[in-house]
């Protein structure tokens, strides 16, 4: 069950905000042509701000043209290409990240993370995208994620892990923090799956963590949410609470946000196969517990104003 993420490519980052944020803040309610209210030209689409307004908010619906889109880096995202684990070490590749159109996505486009293997280390690539800022701590983390029970092509049976998680800078940090959603359609580490693991970490080495496992097939879109507030961490899926940790198993330092699709091991060499995980949008609200319904209302409001990216989270 689970292993700590070992990532070594953190860097400083400057947050940007879109002009569309002004609409969400209601700062563009005045019509510059008339000096009056925009309502004079007809009512604007109703926005759904976060419960206490947009400050302390990250939202991204991953509307990028590709891995080389300059806006991706400008908005504080990086595709992992470095070494290390977890999974098949040193197989992280930018080739696994793409942003195709998808009619099932609320924003019309998705982040697709594709891991591929032929059963050999040389023929394996894993995919991860993460924020380059480490300024996420307490509050609400949410994402709409499409999980896969079977490979997009090729033989089934791999021990693949599809994940959404905030994590601190280093697994050797004195205040190491990690909060995991991990979906294993075929199990792994001795389990048979399918299963969704939620894991709250205190230390990576030696491992000190608490977890819960949901034994269920989860092919399709789901809203994953982690609320870290008032000395406890609550994990929920599609509005249903799954697991709560408390005591020492709560965030102790600022984290960054990751999505990854990787392989625990290589159980067979039966030809090439690919596994896809998709992310429609990600949302974070600092220092507030936001319900699933209010998260969705907020995301709908951002979409209605054309705000595909917003970041007002204070810099670290």
Give yes or no for a contact between 140 and 257, defined as CB atoms under 8 angstroms apart.
Answer: no
Radius of gyration of the chain (CA): 20
Measured CA to CA, the distance from residue 90 to residue 155 in angstroms comes to 23
261 forms beta bridges with 127, 162
Least confident window among 9-23, 67-81, 95-109, 112-126: 9-23
Neighbour count for residue 253 (Cβ, 10 Å):
13
* Residue 251 vs residue 20, higher pLDDT: 251
- What mean pLDDT do residues 117-132 have? 97
Q: How many residues does the chain have?
A: 316
Reported as a single tens digit per residue, the pLDDT across 131-173 is: 999 999 999 999 999 999 999 999 999 999 999 999 998 888 9
**Pure H helices in 42-149:** 70-74
What fold, for 55-311? Jelly Rolls (2.60.120)
Q: What is the pLDDT of residue 1?
A: 59
Q: How confident is the model at residue 308 (pLDDT cuts 50, 70, 90)?
A: very high
Residue 196: φ, ψ to 5° = -115, 120
Q: What is the pLDDT of residue 110?
A: 98
Reported as a single tens digit per residue, the pLDDT across 54-88 is: 899 999 999 999 999 999 999 999 999 989 999 99
Neighbour count for residue 14 (Cβ, 10 Å):
10
Reported as a single tens digit per residue, the pLDDT across 165-209 is: 999 988 889 999 999 999 999 999 999 999 999 999 999 999 999
Displacement of CA 8 from its chain's centroid (Å): 18
């Amino acid at each position: 069950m689970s292993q700590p993420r070992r990532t070594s490519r953190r860097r400083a980052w400057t947050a940007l905000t879109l002009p569309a944020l002004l609409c969400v803040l209601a700062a563009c309610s005045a019509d510059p042509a008339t000096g009056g209210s925009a309502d004079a030209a007809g009512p604007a689409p109703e926005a759904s701000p976060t419960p206490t307004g947009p400050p302390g908010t990250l939202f991204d619906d991953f509307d990028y043209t590709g891995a080389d889109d300059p806006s991706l880096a400008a908005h504080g995202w990086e595709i992992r290409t470095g070494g290390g684990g977890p999974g098949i070490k040193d197989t992280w590749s930018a080739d696994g990240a793409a942003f195709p159109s998808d009619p099932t996505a609320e924003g019309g486009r998705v982040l697709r993370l594709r891991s591929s293997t032929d059963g050999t280390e040389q023929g394996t690539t894993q995919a991860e995208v993460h924020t380059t800022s480490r300024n996420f701590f307490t509050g609400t983390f949410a994402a709409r994620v499409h999980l896969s029970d079977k490979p997009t092509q090729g033989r089934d049976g791999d021990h693949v892990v599809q994940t959404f998680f905030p994590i601190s800078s280093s697994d050797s940090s004195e205040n190491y923090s990690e909060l995991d959603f991990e979906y294993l359609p075929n199990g792994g580490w001795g389990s048979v799956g399918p299963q969704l693991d939620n894991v709250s970490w205190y230390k990576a080495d030696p491992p000190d963590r608490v977890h819960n496992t949901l034994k269920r097939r989860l092919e399709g879109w789901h809203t994953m949410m982690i609320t870290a507030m008032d000395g406890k961490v609550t994990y929920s899926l599609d509005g249903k609470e799954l697991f709560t940790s408390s005591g020492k198993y709560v965030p102790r330092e600022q984290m960054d946000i990751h999505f990854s699709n990787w392989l625990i091991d290589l159980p067979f060499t039966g030809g090439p196969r690919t596994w896809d995980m998709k992310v429609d949008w990600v949302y974070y609200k600092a220092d507030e517990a936001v319900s699933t319904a209010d998260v969705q209302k907020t995301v709908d409001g951002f979409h209605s104003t054309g705000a595909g990216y917003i970041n007002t989270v204070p810099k670290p």
